[in-house]
Chains A and B, each alone.
Chain A
Amino acid sequence: ILNVEQSPQSLHVQEGDSTNFTCSFPSSNFYALHWYRWETAKSPEALFVMTLNGDEKKKGRISATLNTKEGYSYLYIKGSQPEDSATYLCAFYSGGGADGLTFGKGTHLIIQP
C-alpha cells in the first residue's frame, strides 16, 4: 500500500492571505501527481495533473509545484477568498501494475472573512 501524506490536516486562513500546503508521496515508480479540490456535498474536481520533476502549474490564484526526486508537491493559494474553502486532495499515480490513484487524506482549508 502506497503512502501519500498531506499536511496540515486542516488550516484556517484569513481572507486575503496566501497559503500553501504539502503532499508527500513515494519518490520511486512515479508517473503522475494529481491535485483535486473537493467542496462539501460535491464531487472532487480536478485541478492539476503533474508529471515532470520541476513542473509548475497555475490556475488563477492556485498554483502547484512538483519535486519527484524528493517526493513532494506544494499547492499554493494566493490572496485566499471564501470560495477557496474546500478540502484539497492530492493523489499519486504509479502508472504500472494495479491501476488507480492513491489519495492522501486531504487538507481541509477554511477561509475566514
Chain B
Amino acid sequence: NAGVTQTPKFQVLKTGQSMTLQCAQDMNHEYMSWYRQDPGMGLRLIHYSVGAGITDQGEVPNGYNVSRSTTEDFPLRLLSAAPSQTSVYFCASKGYGYTFGSGTRLTVV
C-alpha cells in the first residue's frame, strides 16, 4: 500500500544542472500533478496529467518538463536549474481527494 512515492527526498543542485524528480503511484489513478510549495505562497500547480500520454501546464510551468509514458509514473524534469526553483516539490494523484507524495526539498545554489 505505497500510495504515491517520490524520490529523492532532498537534493542540492548547482545553477544550470538538470535533474529529474521521480513520482510513482500504485493506485491506478489517471490524474497526477506536480506542485511546488514556497513560503507565503501555498501550493502552486506546475504541470498535470489526466492520463498516459497527456500532460498540460499549470500555473507555474516555466523551467519544468513532464512526461507520462505510463499510468504509474509522472517524472518532473528541471532542464537548467535556477535559484528561483529552490522549493519543496509535491507530486499528487487524484482519487478521493488527492494523495500526496512525501515531498522533495530542492536547493539550487
Point out residues on A near B: beta carbons under 8 Å. Answer: 1, 34, 36, 42-49, 89, 91, 98-106
Q: Which residues of B contact A103 (CB under 8 A)?
A: 35, 42-44
On whether the beta carbons of B33 and A100 are closer than 8 Å, the reply is yes
Pairwise interchain contact A1-B59, C-beta atoms closer than 8 A: yes
Q: Tell me the minimal C-beta distance from A46 to chain B in angstroms.
A: 3
Chain B 11-44 near chain A by CB (<8 Å), digits 1 or 0: 0000000000000000000010101000011111
How far is A42 from B31 in the complex, measured between Cα atoms in Å? 22
Cβ A44 vs Cβ B100 within 8 A? yes
Q: Number of contact residues on B: which range applies? A: 20 to 34
- Tell whether A100 pairs with B58 under 8 Å between CB atoms, given A34-B98, A43-B101: yes
* Interchain Cβ contacts within 8 Å, total number: 55
With A43-B4, A89-B42 known, 13 other A-B pairs at CB within 8 A are A34-B97, A34-B98, A43-B102, A44-B98, A89-B43, A98-B56, A99-B33, A100-B58, A100-B59, A102-B45, A103-B35, A103-B43, A105-B42
| A1 to chain B: closest residue by CB | B59
B92 to chain A, nearest CB (A): 8
Q: Is the CB of B100 within 8 A of A43?
A: yes
CA distance A98 to B31 in the complex (A): 12
State which of A100, A104, A106 has its C-beta within 8 Å of the C-beta of B48: A100
Contact B56 A44 (CB under 8 A): no
Contact A105 B97 (CB under 8 A): no
Contact A105 B40 (CB under 8 A): yes
B5 to chain A, nearest CB (A): 11
Bound: A99/B96 CA distance, A: 15
B48-80 interface code vs A (CB 8 A; 1 in, 0 out)? 101000001111000000000000000000000
